Structure 1
Amino acid sequence: MTEHARYTVTVDRDACDGVFACLVRDPRFVEDDDGLAGIDPEAAASLERTDATVTATFADDRRGDAEQAAAACPLDAIAVRDAADAEVEP
């Protein structure tokens, strides 16, 4: 079994405007109750939601899907990072 590098995907809820270009690039993105992009909690190893962000951690081979979703967001509301990098950010 191949071990995959852990990575995080963060949706900036303040920047998101519900365009949902991410949903067609990666099915782990979903529309949340507020009409903004969110992440399916069942698809993530862990998920943290605040008023300002939704951050999910993954350890799979689908980072490219998440990066395509982030690139498709016209508002730059999605960030994909190595999990180790996300842990040291303030």
Structure 2
Amino acid sequence: MTTYEVTLKKDPCDGIFACLTRDPRFIEDDDGLATIDPDGDPVYDGDGEVREVDGDVIATFDDDRIEEARQAAAACPTNAIVVEEVDP
């Protein structure tokens, strides 16, 4: 398994939601933009940690779904999503 961080920079996010179709952990937030919610994915059973730092949403996962997160980042037209492997 890989430990990785997904950072969603809220400022450049424009609510196109291309990420939602690539990774179901991305959902629409109350502000009309994307956010990350591991519980929003009915098949996710891991222990994702989500926190907010300076308005950005940062989620840490330890599972085998990094490719889904990378696909969501690649689909984002504003480059608001960054996926990085981290040390556990």
State the TM bucket, normalised to the shorter chain. 0.7 to 0.9
Aligned equivalent of 1:5? 2
Normalized per residue, which structure has more helix?
1
Name the aligned partner's letter for residue 22 of structure 2. R
Q: After superposition, where does 1:14-53 map in structure 2 within 5 Å?
A: 14-42=11-39, 45-53=48-56
Cα RMSD of the aligned pairs, angstroms, is 1.4
Q: Distance in 1 between matches of 2:53 and 2:32?
A: 15
Larger Rg: 1
Aligned equivalent of 1:60? 63
Cα shift at 1:51: 4.9
List gaps (5 residues or longer) in structure 1.
Answer: 85-90
The structure-2 alpha-carbon separation of the partners of 1:51 and 1:31, relative to structure 1 and needing over 3 Å to count, comes to: farther
Of all paired residues, the percent bearing the same amino acid is: 56
Question: Is the Cα–Cα contact under 8 Å of residues 13 and 51 in structure 1 kept in the other structure?
Answer: no
Q: Distance in 2 between matches of 1:65 and 1:41?
A: 13
Normalized per residue, which structure has more strand?
2
Deviations 1:37-89 (A, max 9, x none): 101143552111145200000001100000000000000000000123xxxxx
Question: Is the Cα–Cα contact under 8 Å of residues 46 and 56 in structure 1 kept in the other structure?
Answer: yes
List gaps (5 residues or longer) in structure 2.
Answer: none
Question: Is the Cα–Cα contact under 8 Å of residues 2 and 66 in structure 2 kept in the other structure?
Answer: no
TM-score (norm 1): 0.83
